[in-house]
Amino acid sequence: MLDEIDVIVIGAGTAGLTAALNLADSCKVAILCKSALGDGSSLYAQGGIAAVMDKGDSLESHIQDTLIAGDSLCDKEAVRFTVENAKSCVEWLINQGVNFTLDSKHENYYHLTMEGGHSYRRILHAADATGKEVQTTLTTLIKNNKNIQVFEYYNVVDLILQQQRCVGAYALNLKTNKIETFSARAIVLASGGASRVYQYSTNPVVSSGDGIAIAYRAGCRVANLEFNQFHPTCLYHPKAGSFLLSEALRGEGAYLRLPNGKRFMPQIDERAELAPRDIVARAIDLQMKKYGLECVYLDITHKSPEFIQTHFPMIYEELLKYGFDLTKDQIPVVPAAHYTCGGIMVDSKARTDIVGLYAAGEVTYTGLHGANRMASNSLLECLVYAFAAAKDIKRKLLEFDKIINLPAWDDALVQDSDEAIFIRHNWKEVRRCMWDYVGIVRSNKRLQRAMNRIKLLRQEVYDYYSDFTVTADLLELRNLVLVAELMIESAMRRKESRGLHYTLDYKQKDPRFLKPTILHPAKS
């Protein structure tokens, strides 16, 4: 069975599933995923997918909104490429069976909502659980496709390169704790972002930056890792974990208030609650520090209960579990790490620096997001670049010879660890360090303090990795600490404040930094 694999897709979010389905009509595909099929950040996406679907809207408007949100750092060609391919990707989803919410006032038209940064209603959504609708639909199609094998609970260790080409991967089978060797003609990295590098995150625990770290170790450039988006409104409750309150709430009129009921966004930005996420998150952070607050409050109680329950059924039901009624109560919220705007550098065909290695989704830097991702452009980017990867792979597949007899993983000189507390302690220390010193507001002193500690931690993890048997937690820690170092290095190089990167030492924008921050792997 393994000998039949043509393409390996690493990751089972929207990007990975889309790539697999578009490849399966002409080759054999294997999907490797760290948890159950279909799990990951895409599953929890509440908002929607941005696409020009209304006659009153225009591609140029979507492009300009994206460029503005990206704070002059977007790649204009990447933005145009993505926006121009948006409608066809959405139509593909509809043809696969994804049920977007229809407009109750106009039969056979989709309901389009507004979100921060957009100047027009162009967000297609499935109520307030778009990611779940997309993921469950695509997962069903994957399970019924005979050309796709799914390997659940496999954690990729590293890529296998021969003659400067990616020919396979080593992956830890989490059920047997054995490392297996996979060979393929091409590989697609679609493993998601790295928001779990922070103590507070809206992402599931699998978002530990694995793909970014794996690709960088293999020799790929990464870019713009200083730009980490913090979602402004994550539920503040000790038992809520990482439950976020969709930006669509503010798009439909919700206000942000201080404990005394006063709104603060109109005094900070003319767009008020509809300002881009970086501005809103920084504004909340400022209010919390200024007044010593544990949280601020999101209020949509001025809308009718029918409106709220119709537009936000999942959020409404989830909040009831924690004792909050969205139709009656102001909801306590805090910012939390949400999206990694930088990542592995790819071109418009989703190709990385390594022949045979492609990447799509949050794991990448395409140039679309610039210094700040605009709402609902993320699932769109997953789709567009997954399509691009599949198209290029199918065109080049016969050029890639498959190497069957790859070397097996060698663990003869390692032993089982008797100090698992090392992993747990360092995992917590990395995330706390990043939250305290490389968070929403930064400074030279904070970044240097973070770098000093992360470098020590990375050496400790390297030594531990060299001596002991590989485990899932160790792999994630190894990747997490590398990505943390790359994020800090990127932030230290950008000596200005732009988009999601705000530093107390350089509060203004500087035209000398109107370019991506690119990190090159060290040459061995």
Active centre residues (catalytic): 277
Secondary structure of residue 493 in the 3-state scheme: helix
Adjacent-strand bridge partners of 150: 31
Q: Which two tokens stand for residue 82?
A: 């993505």
- Residue 67 near residue 514 (C-beta atoms within 8 A): no
Close Cβ partners of 372 (under 8 Å, ≥ 6 residues apart) = 69, 70, 71, 227, 229, 276, 277, 278, 341, 499, 500
CA distance 145 to 148: 6
CA 372 from centroid of its chain's CA atoms: 13
Where do we find the tokens 């919410």?
A: 101
Close Cβ partners of 518 (under 8 Å, ≥ 6 residues apart) = 221, 222, 223, 345
Close Cβ partners of 163 (under 8 Å, ≥ 6 residues apart) = none
CA distance 479 to 491: 18
Close Cβ partners of 301 (under 8 Å, ≥ 6 residues apart) = 326, 327, 328, 329, 330
* CA distances to 56, 120, 271, 360, 383 from 64, in Å: 15, 11, 16, 23, 20
Close Cβ partners of 20 (under 8 Å, ≥ 6 residues apart) = 9, 29, 31, 142, 145, 148
